[in-house]
Structure 1
């Protein structure tokens, strides 16, 4: 039986990856901070390895007998005073070095689409720095770059719930977010096929306006959308780091930067964002 080591297993995507590999007959070793909390939360895994990727001394032996490492480790909101540099870059470097020491055959990493277009965003810069490090390492690697998760689209639904969605520019830029279960299957297929880089998105491509309309449709409300000049977004990118703490402007800079680009990866999957919005609304009723 092959063994996969999953970092970020307690996160949105990591849970889907762990569940898929476990159901596919793999021995799943999940990196967790607290095994009891992981057990109570229902994380699907064959075993829990207790450690912290930011503390390399806690990773010793974590990858003994491991065939494959998959890391979806990263932060979108700073916690415990940690920075993107410390988690998205250095913690993944710690995992990579442990994998190399254990002679693991393959390392897969979940990146972000269009990183080259957002070099000034700290979250993206840290991820890209690790992707470059992984590319240069003496190990077979796969980098999967999703356009965005369904879970990220809650911002559109939340704005719609408040009665109005605010967009920058004309709302014509496109995106195709992907569900975690679909993305997990992409990760597995890309690894099996030996692909080195996979820019991926969900099956449905929307303009930002169409995505906002889908959110209102799920609520059964007429769409109310206000378009702000794109200059507003660009000014916010410059001002926010000076007037807000890191845990606020960190994710905001990524969101605002992504809103200024087409975020369309290779369309794939079977889950649809409209169904996701409908399910979220139904849960609250």
Structure 2
């Protein structure tokens, strides 16, 4: 039986990765910071360790065929920086994988990273990808366009009665459900692919997303387009007036809103259905 170690296993994507590899018959080891948060994971083994502390990783990858890392900071409130986690913690994992002779290392990155190097969150990820591609280990990089879970802001605005966008509102994105992204990741590692840009089956403009969210909450689609210079100004001002846990994700969001985020269409799950389930209070 093939063995995979999933890092970032208790995160949004990590849970789907564990379930997908288990479904395909892999022995799944989940790397977790706390067993208490991992009781519902689909995994054969839980390994409690801190990827930011290399000593805790020693020996955990012996016999593993594959490591898949979805490890990264989102809205953590601790004092770790993007470089500490998105770069250094993943590098610690990579160095241990090299020592253990793991067959392949896969990493979940972000689409259009080269155009977002000025965003600290993306810069740390991109620096790790450089290290990964320079490693003697075979590697796979998955670059998703955006997650269904990221689209919750559209629903929140639609519930409030108005969706605020940046002009012209015609930038496009094809977000992907976590389960479909996990399947695309497993397909890519099974095929030995070096890189895969991925997105969901449906592509929307931001205005179309606003209308979809409004329909889901049963309200008229009211959209206001803000001037794009305001997006750029907000990007520069946010670090001066908010903590990193706020301005870090916001800077990424603001940057992504200014470009097309369309990856290769994958999966079968539809954002319309996800919105409907979210409105009903169901977990998807």
Q: TM-score, normalised by structure 2?
A: 0.98
**Aligned counterpart, 1:118:** 116
**Aligned counterpart, 1:10:** 10
**Aligned counterpart, 2:159:** 161
Q: CA deviation at 1:34?
A: 2.0
SS of alignment partner, residue 133 of structure 1: helix
Matches within 5 A, 1:179-194: 179-194=177-192
Q: Confirm or deny: 8 A CA contact 2:141 2:194 kept in the other structure.
A: yes
**Aligned counterpart, 1:148:** 146
1:3-34 Cα shifts (integer Å, max 9, x gaps): 10000110111100100111211110000122
Task: Choose which of 244, 247, 263 in structure 2 pairs with 1:246.
Answer: 244
Q: Which runs of no fewer than 5 residues in structure 2 stay unpaired?
A: none
Q: Confirm or deny: 8 A CA contact 1:178 1:203 kept in the other structure.
A: yes
Matches within 5 A, 1:177-216: 177-216=175-214
Q: Which runs of no fewer than 5 residues in structure 1 stay unpaired?
A: none
SS of alignment partner, residue 280 of structure 2: helix
Matches within 5 A, 1:232-243: 232-243=230-241
Q: Which runs of 4+ in 1 moved over 6 A?
A: none
1:158-209 Cα shifts (integer Å, max 9, x gaps): 1111111100011000000000010011001111111111111000000000
SS of alignment partner, residue 100 of structure 1: helix
Matches within 5 A, 1:1-285: 1-39=1-39, 42-283=40-281
CA distance in 2, matches of 1:211, 1:36: 36
CA distance in 2, matches of 1:2, 1:274: 36
1:235-272 Cα shifts (integer Å, max 9, x gaps): 01111111211111111100000000100000111000
CA distance in 2, matches of 1:210, 1:180: 21
CA distance in 2, matches of 1:122, 1:219: 34
CA distance in 2, matches of 1:49, 1:172: 45
Q: Confirm or deny: 8 A CA contact 2:148 2:177 kept in the other structure.
A: yes
CA distance in 1, matches of 2:266, 2:141: 16
111-120 or 275-284, which deviates more: 275-284
Q: Confirm or deny: 8 A CA contact 2:159 2:219 kept in the other structure.
A: no
1:76-118 Cα shifts (integer Å, max 9, x gaps): 2233111100000000000000000000010000000000111
Q: Confirm or deny: 8 A CA contact 1:78 1:246 kept in the other structure.
A: no
CA distance in 1, matches of 2:257, 2:108: 20
